[in-house]
Structure 1
């Protein structure tokens, strides 16, 4: 049974992750409005969105190298400061560059939170890492649900243009988690407590198993986070209120992670990852090939697929390659977010190309985007968006299909191995 200090640290960590997820949910909900207000095309919006994914790996990787040196508490103080600055700059944004830099600051804050909190949770619960990391990470989809519901509520009551107020709501949990962490004492990481040397840590992160998981993290993160950030935009002309698809997907993720314990204990982390890849592929197929109510079914199936990806990837490394320590966990997180940033930029440009493909020959995308609603050009652009969005999802479908093969091999490989446990010095 965890003691009071352990529980307080865990719940404060969850609150910090809630701020991270709110930034994703609210940004996904207001992306179209930002594009209209500041006259940004899909490539520019994708670059702004990707900026959060640049800041995240930058912070989480650097954090992985220094967390054992400066301690987890100092990292979280830094996260608090970056969150405050990023949120404030977003509220007072005036165009592309202010949105760019504010999103970068929030991304750095988000990465710093995970750089400290992932190894903190693994250190607090050394005998139940994967399950506890799933519990911790349920606050990521949970915050996205809250964020998208906030956006929907503001739209419903006619205040959708007040996106600054929606962003400002993130200040409340930010101030609370900053206060809580300032009052709590932190343990050292599990690797330090167990006396594993820095040399052994570096050996662990260049082992074949770690490199395999590192590469797979690229694909699992893109499948989950790219689709989550862009589903509303890609399917906005296919279904009347596409943000509901994101809410359904993330809602399923919250429930799935809340009941991760029995699933993880039954299938083991590698079995959970194979299960996830199968359902993620099926869900993406339905989202890319359906209309009407079947899109809701696709969102539910996709949510079941991706709900365990991120925390179980981290939990697998923490459980089976524990000597990699905080560095191993944070390199995994950095790899995932970096891959999403590159893929988002690539697919943003690709999305513009696909839209142009479905417009009349020689058409200017900027001209069509500036057309007044109800005009022939505006209707043609809506039709092109309807066709282009599912094509992006169908391209992304190849990633979970590759993962099915990779994780099937991992299940077979792990039959002859047992999780490694560290003994505290």
Structure 2
């Protein structure tokens, strides 16, 4: 009798992802406070933010190489340890270096969660992978909604950011306990009998390489914008963090309804539509002001809603021989791209602020506020190029998949009854 309990494994996976997303939501809400308390520049905040995105690809890629050998359970116990250390180090941070190290630990924990949970979900729901990966990944925006609302609530009653971060310990202990008591299946690739050579060959195929490169763009469009929204638009609206809350709230609903949408339009069709809507949303975010910006956030949220889980789901569905390595290389590519982009855009933002300050005089608070209100939208306009390029790429992907499907159909012999 099998001792594998898919539903309990799925719940524990969602709790682990909740910790990952809370770290994003809470950090996005306290970024400006960290900058004030520790006298950090926007560029330094960019490096701290990037640390999470460095730790993530490091952990997820290494996890992709070892998960078949050591098993998903050991990886997830490791994730628990890194999450706990990262949270405690953040709470007791004393400046730039300690914030960097603590964020790096949390990033490693986040990456290890995805390194194990993406192949775990694909392994326990082999007949419904893209939909269940969307259901799993709804807890990423879900946690960001919870995190940002917690920040707003606790800030309103003057509870410090240290307590806000410490709250993440609760779901961390919960998922650590659950995973330690449950049995795990082997990965889908191992269960299917695909060899390690098959895995490496599939991970070097032209289709996989295209998806790998495309992941750079989908991840930056979604995660950079979300993580930096409070900084970029704080001087455009009084409720910048609510933009992130609204955007991620839309993503929760959308991913929960992924089943019929993916079935109706196919993963590649969903990716094309997402790119178009995300481009429109980014344009609106960079141009609208006042309450109209919340409409822009709604459009943007719909656009980026399916990016991450559908990219991974596409690989799981159409390049299954790449196994856990393929899924984790995708996640690693996305987070690495965001880490690099965050550093460059943090520096570019500072340069834009300096550019828009009046020359020859000492800038007062009003001048700085005005400069920042111009710089944030400029960064978003530059980022808009990325989903526009994705539109072109995903048009090509749809044409390629349609031709491949037609070729497979023509290759099947048709026998007519005599």
**Could you tell me the TM-score, scaled by structure 1's length?**
0.94
Q: Structure 2: which 5+ runs fail to align?
A: 409-418
Matches for 1:157-168 after TM superposition, within 5 Å: 157-159=157-159, 162-168=160-166
User: d(CA) in 1 for partners of 2:4 and 2:266?
Assistant: 29
What does residue 351 of structure 1 align with? 349
Matches for 1:140-151 after TM superposition, within 5 Å: 140-151=140-151
SS in 2 for 1:196: coil
| 2:386 is equivalent to residue 388 of structure 1 | no
User: d(CA) in 2 for partners of 1:346 and 1:222?
Assistant: 12
User: d(CA) in 1 for partners of 2:308 and 2:124?
Assistant: 19
User: d(CA) in 2 for partners of 1:274 and 1:362?
Assistant: 48
User: d(CA) in 1 for partners of 2:85 and 2:278?
Assistant: 35
Runs of 4+ aligned residues of structure 1 deviating over 6 Å after TM superposition are none
What does residue 153 of structure 1 align with? 153
What does residue 103 of structure 2 align with? 103
1:322 paired residue among 310, 320, 323: 320
User: d(CA) in 2 for partners of 1:69 and 1:3?
Assistant: 20
- Equivalent residues, number: 406
Deviations 1:166-222 (A, max 9, x none): 000000000000000000000000000011000010000000000000000000000
User: d(CA) in 1 for partners of 2:359 and 2:187?
Assistant: 59
1:408 paired residue among 392, 395, 408: 395
What does residue 30 of structure 1 align with? 30
Aligned residues of 2:130 and 2:310 also touching (Cα < 8 A): yes
What does residue 253 of structure 1 align with? 251
SS in 2 for 1:40: coil
1:207 paired residue among 199, 205, 221: 205
SS in 2 for 1:74: helix
| 2:23 is equivalent to residue 16 of structure 1 | no
User: d(CA) in 2 for partners of 1:163 and 1:131?
Assistant: 36
Shift of 1:360: 2.3
| 2:279 is equivalent to residue 281 of structure 1 | yes
Aligned residues of 1:320 and 1:418 also touching (Cα < 8 A): no
User: d(CA) in 1 for partners of 2:323 and 2:271?
Assistant: 21
Aligned residues of 2:4 and 2:185 also touching (Cα < 8 A): no
User: d(CA) in 2 for partners of 1:241 and 1:157?
Assistant: 17
Shift of 1:418: 4.8
What does residue 190 of structure 1 align with? 188
Deviations 1:234-279 (A, max 9, x none): 0000001100000000000000000000000000000000010011
**Could you tell me the TM-score, scaled by structure 2's length?**
0.95
User: d(CA) in 2 for partners of 1:237 and 1:284?
Assistant: 17
Shift of 1:3: 9.7
User: d(CA) in 1 for partners of 2:236 and 2:53?
Assistant: 27
Deviations 1:337-364 (A, max 9, x none): 000000000000000000000012267x
Aligned residues of 1:222 and 1:340 also touching (Cα < 8 A): yes
